[in-house]
Structure 1
Amino acid sequence: MLFESSRVRLRKMTEEDTELYHKWRNDVDVMHSTNPSLDVYSMEATKEFVDHVILGAPAAKSYIMVEKGNEIPIGIVSLIGIDYKNRNAECIIDIGEKEYWGKGYGSEGLKLLLDYAFYEMNLHRVSLSVFSFNDRAIHLYTKIGFQQEGSSRQCLFRDGEWHDIIHMGLLQNEYFEKQKQNV
């Protein structure tokens, strides 16, 4: 099935997920490696973000990652800034439930999203941005086939130091080739 792997199922994000997303969005540990601002958001601000940016944007598709064994929502994967004319988009992934970190769930969820992006939507290119200190994510993205395309030098101040934001991209034909190698 398109939106399922052995342990993860993707389901479309709905307005009912706002409270759960609010919990993840305000967890400093969760956002440390993905959100540049680390602000604390009010429920009203999160609701507005979900309504207008996640659910209300025609150029975005967001899915809740559900751990199939217990039917527990564990994170979110999204395609944003979808440019249908030029067949490209940016992807985002956050595992909100920390006990699922480092166990391959992010890899499964991201592969499901990329399968959808490249096989179903026929996108040509998917990009992402990652903080330079997020070694685990960089390793995952490289393993899937993303290539570093550049960086924004020292544009993130985190934990008393300046860090780069690395920009990575993956082309449809590269993804297909990588899938053949992994069979």
Structure 2
Amino acid sequence: MFSEKPVLTGERVTLRPVGPEHADGLYALVSDPEVRRLTGSHAAFDPEACRRWCATRGDQPDRLDLAIEAGGEYVGEVVLNEVDPANLSCNLRIALIGARAFGKGYGTEAIALTLGHAFGTTPLHRISLEVFAFNDRARHVYKKLGFVEEGRLRDALRWEGAWHDAVVMSVLRPDWLSRSDFLT
């Protein structure tokens, strides 16, 4: 479904297929304590693992891994994965590199470009995600882009001894295509 890896360009960001040149940026992203908390990432990563990962993303026809660049600099990634061809659905995940990328509209534009591409070039009907209940900023962006809350996974994350719910959200093709404000 994602054998073609496009470059998508917006006003603030450019999305490029993840490649080896993004390994250092990915390592910085997965090493940032706030990003790890927001994504619930307990695992530790090393630079070599990030290099290997980035080098193989272009070979994956069942997922779309895009680096988010602003001003020519890596500021995060947006990914469509977990494709279910029978049900024309997949998962979306996004992570920004940290404080230098937060609050600048990069994530909003990256998701809008990704949804526009997915619904404009594939038969996908549903794109879903999970976001931790404490991540109000991300939940606001997802709602603004047309994602609807579907439910909660109670106590899905244990972080520093406290339990946190994950909120399940999705956007459907007809809902996205009926919007004119984010079509790209």
| CA distance, structure 2, for counterparts of residue 118 and residue 83 of structure 1 | 15
Matches within 5 A, 1:15-164: 15-34=20-39, 36-51=40-55, 54-67=57-70, 70-164=71-165
Q: 1:3 to 1:133 in 2, by over 3 A?
A: same
Unaligned runs of 5+ in 1: none
How much does 1:5 deviate?
Answer: 1.3
Matched residue, 1:180: 180
Q: Do the aligned partners of residues 57 and 10 (structure 1) sit closer, same or farther apart at CA in structure 2, a change above 3 Å counting?
A: same
Deviation at 1:56, TM superposition (A): 4.3
Partner Cα separation in structure 2 for residue 9 and residue 37 of structure 1: 25
TM-score norm. by structure 1 comes to 0.87
Could you list the per-position Cα deviations for residues 123-171 of structure 1 after superposition, in whole angstroms to 9, with x for gaps in the alignment? Answer: 1110001011000001111111111112210121124321001111110
SS in 1 for 2:44: coil
Q: Distance in 2 between matches of 1:7 and 1:91?
A: 20
1:31 Cα deviation from its structure 2 partner? 1.9
- 1:181 deviation in Å? 5.8
3-state SS in 2 of match to 1:148: strand
Given residue 10 of structure 1, which amino acid in structure 2 is its aligned partner? L
Deviation of residue 55 (structure 1)? 4.2
1:165 alignment counterpart: 166
Matched pairs, number: 178
For residue 90 of structure 1, what is the amino acid of its counterpart? N
CA distance in 2, matches of 1:51, 1:151: 35
Is the Cα contact below 8 Å between 2:90 and 2:127 reproduced in 1? Answer: yes
Worse overlay, 1-10 or 57-66: 1-10
Does the CA-based 8 Å contact 2:133-2:166 persist in structure 1?
Answer: yes
Kept in 1, the 8 Å contact 2:32–2:98? The answer is no
Q: Percent identity?
A: 31
Aligned residue in 2 for 1:4: 9
Unaligned runs of 5+ in 2: 1-5
SS at match of 1:113: helix
Distance 2:85 2:12 in 1: 30
User: Could you tell me the TM-score, scaled by structure 2's length?
Assistant: 0.86
Instruction: Say if 1:182 and 1:12 are closer, same or farther in 2 by CA, change over 3 A.
Output: closer
What's the offset of the Cα at 1:44? Answer: 3.3
1:14 aligns with 2:19: yes
Corresponding residue SS for 2:180: helix
SS at match of 1:149: strand
Contact 2:18 2:54 in 1 (8 A): no
Deviation of the 1:46 alpha carbon: 2.9
Measured against aligned partners, the alpha-carbon deviations of 1:38-85 in whole angstroms (never above 9, x if no partner) come to 332122333444456x44433111111111xx3112111110112334
CA displacement at 1:97 relative to structure 2: 4.4
